[in-house]
Amino acid sequence: MRRCSSGFVLQSTKTVECAYLTERSIAMNKFKTLNEAPNYSIVEAAHYLRLKQQEIRRWIDNDVVRTSGRNLSFINLLELHTLKALRKGTGLPMQRIRTALMEFNAMEDALHPLLDPRLETDGLHLFLHDGDAYFNLNRAGQMGLPEILRTYLKRIDRFESGEMIFFPFIASEDADEPRTIQIAPQIAFGRPVLANTGISVDVIAGRFRARDTVSDLAEEYGVSPRLIEEAIRLEFPLLNAA
């Protein structure tokens, strides 16, 4: 018998399987560390998410979003994104959200309940979705069939390895908004890049500010002018009204 570092006991002949489990465990720990690193200021989070700084501070002060210090982690960004969906899309009051999350923690002992894929809303209450059952967390024991708010949650890609990729809204916050910009802690130190390219949005915006044209930037980086425009819109939000 042999015990691999993941904690699974395997027959000695299954060394390949043990190596796979160990590698997977290492990958998950790597992404967990990256996801929880405090790399974002409140100013940056407010900019990426189109939120007011005082609103973010209020959610932190109310212990709805838990930070490890003055800065925010990538996990915190995703929690704020989900909170924005709950507040803006449903009108749920903060107290109701806080009560539901406290009950969720009591049931599941979850560090980040706002990112649990089973957590959904019908605009009146929060629900924990478990298979075909919907548990109303604001009224313990009741059941319901919520209208699931999907648009915001579809901006987050999750992988078995623990990797997550966030696609912030740029011009509008609806289901048709393309996923052109991505944020992931393992790429460009967690700063926004053009999706699937690794090209820094900040660099593009800086060159545009220095009077490089959209067409010249698109040609140099080998992407469409539309992607360059999306990067500029993220950095200069007032252009979204144009």
What is the chain's pLDDT, residue by residue, as a tens digit (242 residues)? Answer: 444 444 444 445 455 455 444 554 555 577 688 999 999 999 999 999 999 999 999 999 988 898 988 899 999 999 999 999 888 766 778 888 888 888 888 887 777 888 887 777 766 677 776 666 666 776 655 544 344 467 888 899 999 888 999 999 999 888 899 999 999 999 999 999 999 999 999 999 999 999 999 999 999 999 999 999 999 999 987 555 44
Would you say residue 82 lies in a domain?
yes
Q: Which residue type is seen at 180?
A: T
Q: How many domains does the chain have?
A: 3
Q: Looking at the structure, do residues 144 and 195 belong to the same domain, yes or no?
A: no
Q: Looking at the structure, do residues 136 and 228 belong to the same domain, yes or no?
A: no
Please state the separation of Cα 195 from the chain's center in Å. Answer: 15
Q: Looking at the structure, do residues 88 and 137 belong to the same domain, yes or no?
A: yes
* CB-based contact 182:172 (threshold 8 Å): no
Question: Residue 163 — φ and ψ, nearest 5°?
Answer: -70, 140
Structure tokens at 238: 């007032």
What CA–CA distance (Å, rounded) separates 153 from 147?
A: 14
Q: Looking at the structure, do residues 200 and 126 belong to the same domain, yes or no?
A: no
Q: Looking at the structure, do residues 143 and 111 belong to the same domain, yes or no?
A: yes
Would you say residue 205 lies in a domain?
yes
Q: Looking at the structure, do residues 54 and 147 belong to the same domain, yes or no?
A: yes
Q: Looking at the structure, do residues 99 and 200 belong to the same domain, yes or no?
A: no
pTM score, whole prediction: 0.79
Write down the residue that tokens 């060159």 correspond to.
Answer: 207
Would you say residue 159 lies in a domain?
no
Alpha carbon dihedral 203, 206, 212, 214, in 10-degree steps, equals 60
- Return the pLDDT at 160: 86
User: Measuring CA to CA, which residue among 191, 172, 188, 170 is closest to residue 180?
Assistant: 170
Structure tokens at 228: 């360059």
* CB-based contact 205:212 (threshold 8 Å): no
Q: Which domain holds residue 16?
A: 2-36
